[in-house]
Amino acid sequence: MADLSFVHTHAPGDPARAPLLLLHGTGGNEHDLVPLVPEIAPGRGYVSPRGKVLENGMPRFFRRLSEGVFDEADVRARADELAGFVVEMREAYGLAAPVAVGFSNGANIAAALMWRHPGVFAGAVLWRAMTPLREAPAGGLEATPVLIVSGAMDPIVPAADVGNLALRLREAGAAVTHETLPVGHGLTRPDLDLARDFLATTA
Protein backbone atom coordinates (compact mmCIF):
# COMPACT_ATOMS: atom_id res chain seq x y z
CA MET A 1 0.00 0.00 0.00
CA ALA A 2 1.35 3.43 -0.93
CA ASP A 3 2.72 5.69 1.82
CA LEU A 4 0.43 8.70 1.43
CA SER A 5 -0.55 11.68 3.59
CA PHE A 6 -3.49 9.87 5.26
CA VAL A 7 -3.47 6.47 6.92
CA HIS A 8 -5.75 4.49 4.62
CA THR A 9 -6.73 1.16 3.16
CA HIS A 10 -7.13 0.42 -0.54
CA ALA A 11 -8.45 -2.36 -2.72
CA PRO A 12 -8.48 -2.39 -6.54
CA GLY A 13 -11.64 -3.04 -8.48
CA ASP A 14 -13.25 -2.86 -11.92
CA PRO A 15 -11.18 -0.28 -13.84
CA ALA A 16 -14.25 0.64 -15.88
CA ARG A 17 -16.03 1.97 -12.77
CA ALA A 18 -15.01 4.91 -10.61
CA PRO A 19 -13.53 3.85 -7.26
CA LEU A 20 -15.17 4.79 -3.98
CA LEU A 21 -13.65 7.17 -1.45
CA LEU A 22 -15.00 5.88 1.86
CA LEU A 23 -15.29 8.52 4.60
CA HIS A 24 -16.17 7.30 8.10
CA GLY A 25 -18.14 9.03 10.83
CA THR A 26 -16.92 10.27 14.23
CA GLY A 27 -15.09 7.55 16.12
CA GLY A 28 -14.70 5.38 13.04
CA ASN A 29 -11.60 4.51 11.08
CA GLU A 30 -10.42 3.44 7.65
CA HIS A 31 -12.01 -0.01 8.07
CA ASP A 32 -15.53 1.04 9.11
CA LEU A 33 -17.28 1.35 5.74
CA VAL A 34 -15.26 -1.30 3.88
CA PRO A 35 -17.73 -4.15 4.68
CA LEU A 36 -20.48 -2.17 2.93
CA VAL A 37 -18.71 -2.07 -0.44
CA PRO A 38 -19.90 -5.52 -1.66
CA GLU A 39 -23.45 -4.54 -0.75
CA ILE A 40 -23.60 -1.08 -2.31
CA ALA A 41 -21.08 -1.33 -5.16
CA PRO A 42 -20.00 -4.90 -5.95
CA GLY A 43 -16.72 -5.05 -7.83
CA ARG A 44 -15.69 -1.47 -7.27
CA GLY A 45 -12.32 -0.55 -5.87
CA TYR A 46 -12.01 1.81 -2.94
CA VAL A 47 -9.71 3.99 -0.90
CA SER A 48 -10.65 4.60 2.73
CA PRO A 49 -8.67 7.21 4.73
CA ARG A 50 -8.72 7.75 8.48
CA GLY A 51 -9.61 11.22 9.73
CA LYS A 52 -6.67 13.05 11.32
CA VAL A 53 -8.56 15.04 13.97
CA LEU A 54 -9.09 13.43 17.38
CA GLU A 55 -12.08 14.36 19.55
CA ASN A 56 -11.74 12.67 22.95
CA GLY A 57 -9.64 10.05 21.19
CA MET A 58 -12.15 9.53 18.38
CA PRO A 59 -11.02 10.14 14.78
CA ARG A 60 -12.85 12.78 12.76
CA PHE A 61 -12.13 14.67 9.54
CA PHE A 62 -12.41 18.18 11.07
CA ARG A 63 -12.95 19.90 14.40
CA ARG A 64 -16.30 20.99 15.76
CA LEU A 65 -17.02 23.53 18.48
CA SER A 66 -20.03 21.59 19.81
CA GLU A 67 -22.62 19.13 18.51
CA GLY A 68 -23.67 20.40 15.08
CA VAL A 69 -21.44 23.51 15.27
CA PHE A 70 -18.39 23.28 13.03
CA ASP A 71 -15.02 25.03 13.25
CA GLU A 72 -15.35 26.42 9.74
CA ALA A 73 -11.71 27.50 9.44
CA ASP A 74 -10.72 23.92 10.21
CA VAL A 75 -13.34 22.58 7.79
CA ARG A 76 -11.73 24.60 5.00
CA ALA A 77 -8.19 23.56 5.88
CA ARG A 78 -9.08 19.89 6.30
CA ALA A 79 -11.11 19.84 3.08
CA ASP A 80 -8.16 21.27 1.20
CA GLU A 81 -5.86 18.70 2.81
CA LEU A 82 -8.18 15.82 1.87
CA ALA A 83 -8.48 17.15 -1.68
CA GLY A 84 -4.69 16.89 -1.85
CA PHE A 85 -4.92 13.28 -0.69
CA VAL A 86 -7.37 12.53 -3.51
CA VAL A 87 -4.78 13.76 -5.99
CA GLU A 88 -2.11 11.64 -4.27
CA MET A 89 -4.18 8.47 -4.26
CA ARG A 90 -5.19 8.86 -7.88
CA GLU A 91 -1.55 9.17 -8.91
CA ALA A 92 -0.34 6.37 -6.61
CA TYR A 93 -2.98 3.84 -7.62
CA GLY A 94 -3.81 5.02 -11.15
CA LEU A 95 -7.41 5.84 -10.32
CA ALA A 96 -10.16 7.86 -11.95
CA ALA A 97 -11.98 10.57 -9.99
CA PRO A 98 -13.70 8.76 -7.11
CA VAL A 99 -17.28 8.69 -5.91
CA ALA A 100 -17.39 9.77 -2.28
CA VAL A 101 -19.39 7.63 0.13
CA GLY A 102 -19.55 9.35 3.50
CA PHE A 103 -21.43 8.89 6.75
CA SER A 104 -22.08 11.76 9.19
CA ASN A 105 -18.73 13.54 9.71
CA GLY A 106 -17.42 11.78 6.60
CA ALA A 107 -20.41 13.00 4.58
CA ASN A 108 -19.81 16.52 5.87
CA ILE A 109 -16.18 16.59 4.75
CA ALA A 110 -17.25 15.19 1.37
CA ALA A 111 -19.74 18.05 1.04
CA ALA A 112 -17.00 20.51 2.01
CA LEU A 113 -14.79 19.16 -0.77
CA MET A 114 -17.60 19.71 -3.27
CA TRP A 115 -18.01 23.24 -1.84
CA ARG A 116 -14.34 24.11 -2.35
CA HIS A 117 -13.02 21.68 -4.97
CA PRO A 118 -15.68 21.07 -7.64
CA GLY A 119 -14.65 18.26 -9.94
CA VAL A 120 -12.74 16.30 -7.29
CA PHE A 121 -15.55 13.70 -7.18
CA ALA A 122 -17.41 11.87 -9.94
CA GLY A 123 -20.39 11.73 -7.56
CA ALA A 124 -21.25 11.38 -3.89
CA VAL A 125 -23.41 9.44 -1.45
CA LEU A 126 -23.97 11.54 1.67
CA TRP A 127 -25.55 9.70 4.59
CA ARG A 128 -26.71 12.03 7.43
CA ALA A 129 -24.89 15.08 6.08
CA MET A 130 -25.12 18.70 7.20
CA THR A 131 -24.28 21.99 5.48
CA PRO A 132 -20.49 22.23 5.98
CA LEU A 133 -19.92 25.96 5.47
CA ARG A 134 -21.97 29.15 5.58
CA GLU A 135 -20.27 30.56 2.49
CA ALA A 136 -21.68 29.78 -0.95
CA PRO A 137 -20.20 26.80 -2.82
CA ALA A 138 -17.68 27.57 -5.53
CA GLY A 139 -20.04 26.20 -8.20
CA GLY A 140 -18.82 24.04 -11.06
CA LEU A 141 -20.70 20.89 -10.01
CA GLU A 142 -22.60 20.56 -13.28
CA ALA A 143 -23.75 16.98 -13.87
CA THR A 144 -22.19 15.74 -10.61
CA PRO A 145 -24.70 13.21 -9.22
CA VAL A 146 -25.26 13.45 -5.47
CA LEU A 147 -27.45 11.29 -3.24
CA ILE A 148 -28.32 12.72 0.18
CA VAL A 149 -30.08 10.38 2.60
CA SER A 150 -31.36 11.90 5.82
CA GLY A 151 -33.30 10.52 8.77
CA ALA A 152 -36.65 12.04 9.74
CA MET A 153 -35.95 11.18 13.39
CA ASP A 154 -32.26 12.14 13.38
CA PRO A 155 -31.51 14.01 16.64
CA ILE A 156 -28.27 15.43 15.24
CA VAL A 157 -29.13 16.74 11.76
CA PRO A 158 -31.97 19.31 11.61
CA ALA A 159 -34.30 18.88 8.63
CA ALA A 160 -33.86 22.54 7.67
CA ASP A 161 -30.09 22.14 7.59
CA VAL A 162 -30.04 19.12 5.27
CA GLY A 163 -32.64 20.83 3.10
CA ASN A 164 -30.28 23.79 2.82
CA LEU A 165 -27.43 21.45 1.89
CA ALA A 166 -29.46 19.97 -0.96
CA LEU A 167 -30.46 23.45 -2.16
CA ARG A 168 -26.91 24.82 -2.08
CA LEU A 169 -25.52 21.84 -4.00
CA ARG A 170 -28.26 22.20 -6.62
CA GLU A 171 -27.48 25.90 -6.94
CA ALA A 172 -23.84 24.92 -7.55
CA GLY A 173 -24.98 22.70 -10.42
CA ALA A 174 -25.09 19.23 -8.87
CA ALA A 175 -27.80 16.73 -9.80
CA VAL A 176 -29.10 16.11 -6.28
CA THR A 177 -31.43 13.36 -5.13
CA HIS A 178 -32.55 13.85 -1.52
CA GLU A 179 -34.29 10.99 0.24
CA THR A 180 -35.61 11.09 3.82
CA LEU A 181 -36.11 7.83 5.67
CA PRO A 182 -38.21 7.27 8.85
CA VAL A 183 -35.08 6.55 10.90
CA GLY A 184 -32.55 8.20 13.22
CA HIS A 185 -28.87 8.95 12.73
CA GLY A 186 -27.58 5.40 12.26
CA LEU A 187 -27.35 3.57 8.96
CA THR A 188 -30.14 1.16 8.04
CA ARG A 189 -30.86 -1.36 5.29
CA PRO A 190 -32.85 1.20 3.26
CA ASP A 191 -29.77 3.49 3.33
CA LEU A 192 -27.73 0.74 1.70
CA ASP A 193 -30.45 -0.05 -0.83
CA LEU A 194 -30.70 3.60 -1.90
CA ALA A 195 -26.92 3.84 -2.22
CA ARG A 196 -26.73 0.60 -4.23
CA ASP A 197 -29.39 1.77 -6.70
CA PHE A 198 -27.75 5.21 -7.04
CA LEU A 199 -24.25 3.81 -7.53
CA ALA A 200 -25.46 1.32 -10.14
CA THR A 201 -26.04 4.27 -12.48
CA THR A 202 -23.16 6.51 -11.35
CA ALA A 203 -19.72 6.64 -13.00
pLDDT digits (tens, 9 = 90+) for 127-159: 999 999 999 898 999 989 999 999 999 999 999
pTM of the model: 0.97
pLDDT score for 23: 98
Return the domain boundaries, the chain.
8-199
Number of other residues whose CB lies within 10 A of the CB of residue 30: 20
Spatial contact of 81 and 53, defined as CB atoms under 8 Å apart: no
CA 180 to chain centre: 17
What is the set of active-site residues? Answer: 104, 154, 185
For residue 119, how many other CB atoms are within 10 A of its CB?
14
Whether the per-residue pLDDT at 67 is higher than 90: the answer is no
Residue 29 CA, chain-centre distance (Å), reads: 14
| Among the listed residues 166, 178, 198, the one whose alpha carbon sits nearest the alpha carbon of residue 100 | 198
State pLDDT tens for residues 36-49. Answer: 999 999 999 999 99
Q: Which backbone phi and psi does 162 adopt, to 5 degrees?
A: -70, -30
Average pLDDT over residues 108-116: 97
Query: Which has the closest alpha carbon to 23: 124, 91, 170, 93?
Result: 124
Residue 203 has pLDDT above 90, yes or no: no
- CATH architecture assigned to 8-199: 3-Layer(aba) Sandwich (3.40)
pLDDT category of residue 117 using cuts at 50, 70 and 90: very high
How far CA 61 is from CA of 42, 106, 163, 170, 187, in Å, comes to 26, 7, 22, 24, 19
- Residue 123 above 90 pLDDT? yes
> Considering the chain, what is the average pLDDT of its residues?
96
Q: What is the pLDDT of residues 165-184, one digit of tens each?
A: 999 999 999 999 999 999 99
More confident residue, 65 or 104: 104
The pLDDT score that the predictor gives to residue 68 is 82
Q: How far apart are CA 63 and CA 79, in angstroms?
A: 11
Q: What pLDDT, on the 0 to 100 scale, is given for residue 6?
A: 98
Neighbours of 101 (CB within 10 A): 29
